[in-house]
Amino acid sequence: MKSKGTFAEDVYRLTSQIPEGRVSTYGAIAKQLKKPKASRAVGRILASNPRPIVVPCHRVVSGDGGLSGYSAPGGLATKARILKREGVEVEDLRVDLSRYMFSDFEP
């Protein structure tokens, strides 16, 4: 994938592609950006997301499906509530990636 901007801009662009009712992982985004070891950097960037409605960072979860890293008021409970409202089943703060994983990013 050819970069369209800074690493942060590319993270936001890819995250914006995750549709309602689906999730992706920090690692999948890093891998798509040809930086497979940068999942923590992806997480740090999303933690400072300046446009949480446009860039749905709540749709990004850990590689094991666990909810993590949500800094909005209410934390992980809020992230779970939003995902459930969008049709993603969340049980014990975990999502079944075999059902909800999105990885069909546009370059």
Q: What's the pLDDT score for residue 63?
A: 97
- Residue 61 belongs to domain spanning: 7-100
| Threshold 0.85, pTM exceeds | yes
Of the listed ranges 16-20, 28-32, 49-53, 62-66, the one predicted with least confidence: 49-53
Give 58-97 pLDDT, tens digit per residue: 999 999 999 998 888 899 999 999 999 999 999 999 999 9
Percentage, residues of the chain above pLDDT 70: 96
Residue 69 is a catalytic residue: no
Average pLDDT over residues 23-49: 97
Distance (Å, whole) CA 104 – CA 22: 11
In a domain, 68, yes or no: yes
Q: What is the CATH number of the domain that holds 43?
A: 1.10.10.10
Among the listed residues 14, 57, 60, 82, the single catalytic one is 57
CA-based max dimension of the chain: 37
Distance (Å, whole) CA 47 – CA 12: 11
In a domain, 1, yes or no: no
In a domain, 22, yes or no: yes
Count up the domains in the chain and report the number: 1
Distance (Å, whole) CA 21 – CA 86: 5
In a domain, 105, yes or no: no
Q: What's the pLDDT score for residue 53?
A: 81
